[in-house]
A and B are shown apart, each in its own frame.
Chain A
Amino acid sequence: MVTGPTPLPASPGKERVAGAVDLIDITQAFLVHGEPLPVLDHVDLSVAPGQFVSLVGPSGSGKSTLLRLVTGLDRPVTGTIYVDGRRVTGPDPSRGLVFQDPTLLPWLTVARNVALGPTIQGGKDDPGWRARIDAMIAMVGLDDFRDALPAELSGGMAQRASLARALVTEPEILLLDEPLGKLDALTRAALQTELARLWQHQGFTAIMVTHDVEEALLLSDRVVVFSPRPARVVADIAVDLDRPRTQDDPDFRALRRRILDLLA
């Protein structure tokens, strides 16, 4: 299903810069019943531009919290996050977010949901944007469902639409919070391939939280393993395998074994 790169119109008025992420000494905690609950414990992490990094760890270990901090939706208690050397102070369209749930706005059609970013930035009717929105919808294979409402889509289709919505504004960084976690095995495999293709195509930096070690190894350049809460980085494993990868490869299996041992 991986097709050769087809030229995708660029979003108007924008040239691709970098997408380097640096987290320095990040600590995060929440108040639960009046008591501080530490979630992240002095985490340092750097991601190079265009890299695909997966975060794995026990559930509840604060990986999603880390992603939210990178989006700028939450502020850390201590530490600083830099994107391309600039400090993150709030959400920005250069950092896209995809949740486990598609979170499409149910009253908008697929096309209007994908066009949400351009609409917010006031360029919905610009022909350049229109072309890019159409190309993005085509790229995730939803051409026949442009005018469908989210309630009429299957889970996989909705997640495709949500990917298209996050990518239409050409973010430098795409943050994926268990994006395929709720899909069935077949749809998940199909979307893993698609995600790899979109990433190779568009060259964004990707940081993905996942519970699926195989998924992490299929897609990533690096797999970062977290400890149980409060989370620290236990291991940072480079995945130097040729793409496209297969689960049968002995090196792949060895890496999988190693990560599972770290998580156990």
Chain B
Amino acid sequence: MTTSTTGQRTPPATADRDLALSRDPGIRAALTRRHRPRTADHRLVAVAVGAWLLTTAGIVLVPDTGAFLVKGQLPLTVLAGTITAVLLVVWAVSARPQTRRGLRASRWLGAWSAWWIALAVVVAAWDGLTAKSGVLRPPYVPPPGQLFTEVWADRVLLGQSVANSAVLLVLGLVIGGISGLLTGLWMGWSRRAGYWLNPIVKYIGPVPTLAWIPIVFIAFPNTFWAAVFLVSLTVWFPMTVLTSAGIRSVPKSYFDVCQTLGAGARFLVLKVSLPAALPNIFTGIFMALPTAFVTLTIAETLGVNSGLGWYINWKKGWSAYPAMYAAIVVMVLLCGSLLTLQLAVRNRVLAWQKDLTRW
């Protein structure tokens, strides 16, 4: 028996009725119909496993076309087989949703089964149209497996390119992010800083990075720091604008209450303004990431001569389309993972927000 907020004892009947109603199979079924099932739909999982099994079998058993040399069927078989096996294992674990792991597996399958079916169809169709029938051919449309052989064959250069891009990106994000946060805080907090910085931010911020490239590559001692500067600049703008907007939109009553409790300027900035502006700051990071990718790729293509953006352009120059596609896939995976990571951090940090939109 619990004590309610008003201090009165709740009648025991309520708890009993709660339990009875929540165990009613009719209510449960009605709610399941109304909401998307959050656990595995075993028919759908069976279709997904079957689709990947068929895809794997098709890759191995259907003979390749003789029209061109088909590369990379072995790694593709291994990948498809692994996916099939993983799905099977997760399905087996999900058979016992009473356990913690079983429930996690079941939820994961409930969320992603449909996607796995779609991916199997895409891979099967792609391989069928290229490697098996020769309808589409390299170099313009390589079979899916060839992407692996291209990555493997050029692993050293590609690895260096990814590493160089990552260093530039991380430096640009950190420098631009921190300076944007500080500028935004300062502008939001001090009227004088707002007076001097507002016009600068308004006129420098929206200029496309491309326009700075001629000046920046001359002004900086080497292309590396020029590229870092360009990426920082693109990150700095949205971070500054959104942080200062966030700071200025903090309800005044928060400051009033904290001041009556004895808070000084330091507390008001670090413990009130900053957390209250966090939703805006995360929007700033969200907007900064894609523009940072764009700037990075352009800078790499135009002057840096290393990195993933340069690699893609260089391969294009040699008409090595399969290698170019492989690099583009690597880029898609990297950018997508970074954005997903950012959103996951945001959802965790902002869990206190009412009606938080989860992306």
Contacts and interface: CB of A to CB of B under 8 A. Distances in A.
A73 B261 contact: no
A148 to B, nearest CB: 11
Contact of B260 (A91, A106, A142, A157): A91
Given A101-B253, A141-B7, A151 B259 contact: no
B140 interface: no
Contact of B353 (A91, A144, A151): A151
A106 B354 contact: yes
B260 A105 contact: no
Contacts of B261: 93, 96, 116-117, 120-121, 165, 169
B317 interface: no
B357 interface: no
A93 to B, nearest CB: 4
A99 B254 CA distance: 11
B25 interface: no
Interface string B242-261: 00000000010110111111
Contacts of A121: 261-262
Interface residues on B, range: 20 to 34
Q: Which of B257, B263, B353, B354 has the most CB of A within 10 A?
A: B257
B259 A73 contact: yes
Given A95-B260, A99-B253, A106-B353, A120 B267 contact: yes
Interface residues on A, range: 35 or more
Contacts of A82: none
B257 A103 contact: yes
A151 B272 CA distance: 17
A97 B260 contact: yes
Contacts of B263: 120
A71 interface: yes
Contact of A103 (B3, B6, B253): B253
B98 interface: no
Interface of A: 1, 68, 71-73, 91-93, 95-97, 99, 101, 103, 105-108, 116-117, 120-121, 141-145, 149-151, 154, 156-157, 160, 165, 169, 190
Closest 6 pairs (CB-CB, A-B): A151-B354, A117-B261, A93-B262, A91-B259, A107-B352, A97-B260
Given A103-B257, A106-B353, 17 more contacts: A72-B260, A73-B256, A91-B260, A92-B260, A96-B260, A97-B256, A103-B256, A106-B354, A107-B276, A108-B352, A117-B262, A121-B261, A141-B5, A144-B5, A151-B353, A165-B257, A169-B261
